[in-house]
Structure 1
């Protein structure tokens, strides 16, 4: 199959003997490089197979085309910043499932699991992708774990980068010995800074809007961070919700004023947020009732603003408006039979302004852009 090649390889940091040609594969490579985790990479071109497309890498292993790439720049700097350890791999593909130990690159509840890294199956797929599915020499194949960041596979064909996957808690893993971060006077085992920022936000919001004061962090389990309050009660919040809280502000003044959005085709949209309708602490459940009769377990805790472009959504519309949105972020509390409090992030969104775009590009298909 014919291969697309790049004409420029600025900053190439491949191994000795590297040639500025893309590895020969049964699929084509994209004509232009892209950025992945700060690396300059070329990804498989499988646009004809759907979005994002799936690549067979040998055996029964597959990878999505947006999950890996061939590194053409920035590798030295990336490894200097993120390199963690070299991952040992078996000598045969057939032994990955039995002998491979996998790699835990970071502890986080960000995606509803315990951590991120690479399973033995993921490592096998990565090695297959780096060799083109053919035989390999474990001694000449370097697999480099980079913490919670994408990992690297390097061999005689060059360097390849692969995204990490979500992992469950490994057997006998000692969470107490994992490095902790100080977050709002709490000691927390969480390696993603956005989740840590969300924990700080949630602690303040719970104290000021619900009179619930978190005293300590208890554990990370099943995608939740668990806490204990000063009254001895248990409270949990999904890591995914905490991560989403990281970009929220509590001062309404920070999101009022002008806002602008430039679409991928150079058209600019502007709007102005003049005021907020629902202030901090406002009960949001059953809004058809008077405020004093609404449940007190669902309150506004912060604000955000965003743009909605119908040409870029999963359900593309070329006739709808590009809209500026005001987002009221809430925490909704519930209690189970054991007395455990669960805090969920919810939102209420209102349109500030909108207009139809002049440019309705054909690239905006039903799958979005």
Structure 2
């Protein structure tokens, strides 16, 4: 197993030492060693994580900064930490505060975002950094210049020091202040929407158009919020009403066609079944209603061609799905109706 020491770069206490090693050089000298045998600490059998051999705590670890989950503090037993950092590191190292009391000054580092996630951002905050350092040091006094935290994007970040090296998964962190706001053009104006997922953005634009065309609603703002069930939602706020819909429902509107002739043209030329074989022809007379049609409170939203296997069928059958947006209590949802197409045997 490797056991390189950070002493290569000095202890950082000398005023004459102006050299600041980069993340890769620090990682190349990181200590990889067996997890420590401390009072009350037990470790699981080693396993492999991204080319590194690690040991997870047998249970969550109690620290003065809170409980650290198993994936937050995996002890690196062996492997090339330098190669891992060279592949995944995203920039500079995080500065370790001089004392535990100074961790409140640590800024949250968002390393990646998920537009459908409850907390929106994942990364490293003051609590996560302090918990990891307490696990690494055993909670005792430390010299900040001997420790380095290296963000690695979506991959677990590295915390290394004289005692060893930890592989720490990114955790949900405080959502930054509108970090990924996008412009969304509606029939009336251009609005700001807090969203990163492109499929959701496309669906949101279509949803705003449908509200305008079918219901005559002029959207003034779009609010982002999440629920206890980890469901990201957007509320389209008009002058009098609010239309709340899940981001996952908006994503369903992405890629639908509003022009049924596109599907009719495909059908008339013949289609290829999903399980291969010869091209077959199917018949479709076209939609009952155009997109934007208000039918019993539902708004027709678009169409797509698909293959489905009904319970009564042994094979896939050609269908057209007619998508609709509909009100369900205080929110709106997206669903579809299936129109089975008549097959024409060659």
| Aligned match for 1:42, one of 42, 52, 66 | 52
Q: Does 1:110 align with 2:113?
A: no
Q: Does 1:234 align with 2:234?
A: no
What's the C-alpha RMSD, in Å, of the aligned pairs? 5.6
Unaligned runs of 5+ in 2: 2-22, 36-42, 227-231, 309-313, 340-346
Unaligned runs of 5+ in 1: 4-11, 35-40, 47-53, 261-268, 284-291, 308-320, 337-341, 351-369
Q: Is the 8 A contact 2:55 2:75 kept in 1?
A: no
**Number of aligned residue pairs:** 276
Q: How much does 1:201 deviate?
A: 1.7
3-state secondary structure, aligned to 1:86: coil
Q: Is the 8 A contact 2:71 2:168 kept in 1?
A: no
Q: Is the 8 A contact 2:46 2:53 kept in 1?
A: yes
Aligned to 1:331: 325
Within-5 A mapping of 1:1-369: 13=24, 15=26, 18=29, 22-25=32-35, 26-31=43-48, 33-34=49-50, 41-42=51-52, 44=54, 56=59, 58-59=61-62, 61-65=67-71, 73=83, 75-76=85-86, 78-79=88-89, 82-83=90-91, 86=94, 89=97, 91-92=99-100, 99=104, 103=108, 105=110, 110-113=116-119, 115-128=121-134, 131=136, 133=138, 135=140, 136-144=142-150, 149=154, 152-156=157-161, 157-158=164-165, 160-165=167-172, 167=174, 175=178, 178=179, 180-184=181-185, 186-188=190-192, 190=194, 192=196, 194=197, 196-208=198-210, 211=214, 215-222=219-226, 223-229=232-238, 233-242=241-250, 244-245=251-252, 248-251=254-257, 295-297=296-298, 301=302, 331-334=325-328, 336=330, 342-346=331-335
Q: How much does 1:324 deviate?
A: 11
- Change beyond 3 A, Cα 1:153–1:191: farther
Normalising to structure 1: TM-score of the pair?
0.50
Which one has a bigger Cα radius of gyration?
Answer: 2
3-state secondary structure, aligned to 1:211: helix
Greater mean alpha carbon deviation, residues 219-228 or residues 205-214: 205-214
